[in-house]
């Protein structure tokens, strides 16, 4: 069905309530840093619980890279309240440390000094640590300290049933139809995600320390040799300074259907890669350097701006879960921390993300061919470095088109989705968020990236000084309001339970780690 047909379908009293049941969740990463801005070398605070088992507070690559996870929720306000609560609880337990406000780190020191995450002695805990050790060997630890926001999104089964009943082929199971629908969303997202980099990108500059010894195309910020940028950058995190892999550059992952997607990733888990074989599976003391010597250690090593996801069972691989039970939700991975916001994201941003993702779902999504497959990363690269340049051209099926012109065409359609979500939720929040984004498209000076560079210019600040100022502002914001007694009690209980859960996992292990790993890969 066309976008207009889907908008008409759901713009009825009996179907509008289904749009109130969109579920989202946020995974927000933040580096713990010392008062000097240098990366913290302290272990994960015990008061925050077990990083292996806590449902809301864990770590990503490093012990110092916290990850805050909100529960799946159909209320945007409740999601943001939970994210604020997690920040406030965390600030009660990190002594004199700060949460770095930017996606791009600073003052990192030597590669070897970055502590990787520790998850205890269980097989699954060891696997998580060895995986991170492998990432360090493969890409360097500096790259793994970049932080971002992952946005999880799903629509209710009732909505899928309506779409299926109005589709030409009703013979599929509902789950197969959902999986195909989520892959349709993913293809459109990949086509148009450059628009999100322009509108939401908040990483236009980096500290020189981050690129020491690396080739780059950045230039000093004015007379400041310590800060590097490009004048019209949006999200340097999403470019070749971010999570990049020569091994993965030749990996063609197909998003046309679930079977092709899982087969591609499964093959990458088995295919040896010579440079990784050179690293070696184990060191001279028989300790693992990495989980395997293949292109990917696990599926999560494959970097993509969006992923199909399915909740896994204990010890189950993500690919196995997708193959067995289909797509459950999607995970958007291209959202920067916005240093202008205490939580790095706000309700306005969430409203637009929901609108954009529903647009990607409702709009017809042809299969991706080889020509388009190569245009997509080129458009992202151009937007990363020059997205706010009015003269920037992107590649579409007809050749080249100005980013602004293409963006205006998309926004003309996205506006109808915002109006539909307003009607469903009896609010004006979606159209208000849409109007703010439309103004950013019309005037690049209103984007987060431009605002941050302007603040640096007006305050005569380095990237480091701006980032420290924002981190201190955010700390004051969270410290200005004590968590409620109920919230404190909740997170105290969660921390205690997480340690008990970790101990239980460790007690129940009955395989050697070698056997555990063999069983994991044989799924």
Which tens digit of pLDDT belongs to each residue from 274-322?
Answer: 999 999 999 999 999 999 999 999 999 998 999 999 999 988 999 999 9
d(CA 425, CA 391): 38
First CA to last CA distance, the chain: 37
d(CA 314, CA 48): 23
Residues 6 or more apart in contact with residue 379 via CB below 8 angstroms: 194, 394, 395
- Helix, strand, or coil here: 497? helix
Give the pairing type, strands 224-229 and 65-69. unpaired
d(CA 60, CA 144): 9
Mean pLDDT over 213-226 rounds to: 88
Chain centroid offset of residue 500 CA: 29
CATH code, 391:
3.30.590.20
Q: What backbone phi and psi angles, to 5 degrees, belong to 282?
A: -130, 160
Selected residue with higher pLDDT from 58 and 95? 58
Residue 523: per-residue pLDDT: 86
Residue 454: per-residue pLDDT: 98
Mean pLDDT over 498-516 rounds to: 97
Residue of 475, 473, 426, 387 lying closest to 94 (CA atoms)? 475
- Can you state the percent helix, strand and coil of the chain, rounding each to 5? 50, 15, 35
Q: Report how many domains make up the chain.
A: 1
d(CA 448, CA 424): 29
Give whole-number Cα distances, 23 to 157, 175, 354, 522, in Å: 11, 17, 9, 33
Strands (E) across 315-472 are located at: 329-335, 393-396, 399-402
**Left if phi > 0, otherwise alpha if psi is -120 to 50, otherwise beta: which for 214?**
beta
Name residue 32's beta-bridge partners: 99
Assess whether pLDDT exceeds 90 at residue 211: no
Return the DSSP state at 217.
-
Structure token digits, residue 69 = 């996870």
Q: What backbone phi and psi angles, to 5 degrees, belong to 178?
A: -60, -45
| Domain extent at residue 224 | 3-521
Residue of 428, 418, 398 lying closest to 3 (CA atoms)? 418
pLDDT category, 171, cuts 50, 70, 90? confident
Assess whether pLDDT exceeds 90 at residue 58: yes
**Left if phi > 0, otherwise alpha if psi is -120 to 50, otherwise beta: which for 26?**
beta
Residues 6 or more apart in contact with residue 254 via CB below 8 angstroms: 260, 261, 264, 368
Residue 118: half-sphere exposure toward Cβ, Cα within 13 Å: 13
Mean pLDDT over 397-424 rounds to: 97
Length of the chain: 523
Name residue 219's beta-bridge partners: 229
Buried b (16+ CB within 10 A) or exposed e, 6-32: bbebbeeeeebebbeebbbbbbbbbbb
Residues 6 or more apart in contact with residue 196 via CB below 8 angstroms: 334, 335, 353, 356
Mean pLDDT over 469-487 rounds to: 97
Express as a percent the part of the chain with pLDDT over 90.
Answer: 88
Q: What backbone phi and psi angles, to 5 degrees, belong to 293?
A: -110, 20
Residue 248: per-residue pLDDT: 79
- Let me know: does 177 contact 52? Beta carbons within 8 Å: no
Residue 244: per-residue pLDDT: 66
- Let me know: does 55 contact 47? Beta carbons within 8 Å: no
Assess whether pLDDT exceeds 90 at residue 190: yes
Residue of 363, 414, 441 lying closest to 184 (CA atoms)? 363
Residue 378: per-residue pLDDT: 96
3-state SS string for 244-257: CCHHHHCCCCCCCC
pLDDT category, 87, cuts 50, 70, 90? very high
- Let me know: does 179 contact 384? Beta carbons within 8 Å: no
Give whole-number Cα distances, 467 to 88, 108, 158, 511, in Å: 19, 14, 44, 46
- Let me know: does 216 contact 365? Beta carbons within 8 Å: no
Residue 33: half-sphere exposure toward Cβ, Cα within 13 Å: 27
Residue of 273, 319, 274 lying closest to 294 (CA atoms)? 273
Assess whether pLDDT exceeds 80 at residue 340: yes
Mean pLDDT over each residue of the chain, to the nearest integer: 95
Assess whether pLDDT exceeds 90 at residue 42: yes
Kindly report the pTM of this predicted structure. Answer: 0.96
């Amino acid at each position: 069905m066309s976008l207009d047909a889907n908008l008409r379908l759901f713009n009825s009293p009996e179907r509008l309530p289904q749009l109130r049941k969109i579920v989202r969740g946020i995974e927000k990463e933040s580096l713990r840093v010392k008062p000097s801005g240098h990366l913290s070398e302290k272990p994960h605070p015990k008061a925050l619980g077990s990083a292996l088992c806590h449902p809301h507070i864990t770590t990503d690559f490093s012990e110092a890279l916290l990850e805050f996870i909100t529960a799946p929720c159909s209320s945007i306000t409740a999601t943001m309240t939970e994210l604020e609560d997690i920040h406030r609880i965390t600030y009660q337990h990190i002594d004199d440390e700060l949460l770095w406000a930017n996606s791009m780190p600073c003052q990192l020191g030597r590669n070897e000094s970055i502590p990787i995450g520790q998850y205890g002695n269980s097989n699954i805990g060891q696997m998580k640590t060895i995986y991170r050790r492998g990432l360090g060997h493969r890409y360097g630890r500096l790259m793994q300290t970049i932080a971002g926001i992952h946005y999880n999104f799903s629509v209710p089964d009732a909505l899928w049933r309506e779409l299926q009943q109005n589709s030409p082929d009703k013979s599929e199971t509902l789950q197969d139809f959902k999986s195909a629908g989520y892959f349709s969303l993913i293809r459109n997202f990949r086509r148009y995600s450059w628009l999100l980099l322009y509108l939401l990108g908040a990483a236009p500059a980096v500290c020189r320390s981050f690129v020491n010894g690396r080739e780059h195309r950045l230039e000093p910020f004015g007379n400041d040799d310590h800060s590097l940028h490009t004048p019209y950058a949006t999200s340097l995190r999403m470019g070749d300074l971010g999570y990049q892999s020569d091994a993965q550059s030749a990996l063609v992952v197909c998003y046309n259907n679930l079977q092709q997607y899982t087969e591609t990733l499964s093959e990458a888990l088995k295919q040896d890669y010579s440079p990784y074989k050179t690293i070696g599976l184990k060191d001279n003391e028989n300790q693992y350097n990495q989980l395997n010597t293949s292109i990917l250690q696990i599926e999560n090593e494959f970097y993509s701006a969006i992923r199909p996801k399915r909740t896994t069972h204990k010890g189950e691989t993500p690919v196995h879960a997708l193959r067995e039970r289909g797509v459950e939700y999607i995970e958007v991975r291209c959202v920067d921390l916005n240093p202008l916001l205490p939580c790095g994201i706000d309700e306005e941003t969430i409203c637009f993300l929901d609108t954009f993702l529903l647009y990607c779902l409702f709009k017809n999504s042809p299969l991706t061919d080889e020509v388009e497959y190569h245009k997509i990363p080129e458009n992202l690269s151009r937007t990363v470095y020059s997205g706010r340049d009015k003269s920037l051209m992107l590649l579409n099926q007809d050749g080249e088109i100005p980013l602004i012109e293409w963006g205006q065409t998309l926004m003309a359609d996205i506006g109808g989705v915002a109006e539909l979500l307003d009607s469903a939720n009896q609010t004006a929040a979606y159209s208000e968020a849409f109007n703010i984004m439309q103004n950013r498209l019309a005037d690049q000076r209103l984007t987060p990236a431009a605002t941050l560079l302007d603040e640096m210019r007006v305050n005569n600040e380095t990237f480091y000084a701006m980032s420290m100022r924002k981190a201190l502002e955010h700390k004051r914001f969270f410290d200005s309001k004590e968590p409620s007694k109920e919230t404190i009690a909740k997170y105290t209980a969660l921390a205690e339970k997480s340690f008990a859960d970790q101990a239980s996992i460790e007690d129940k292990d009955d395989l050697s780690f070698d056997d555990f790993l063999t069983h994991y890969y044989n799924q």
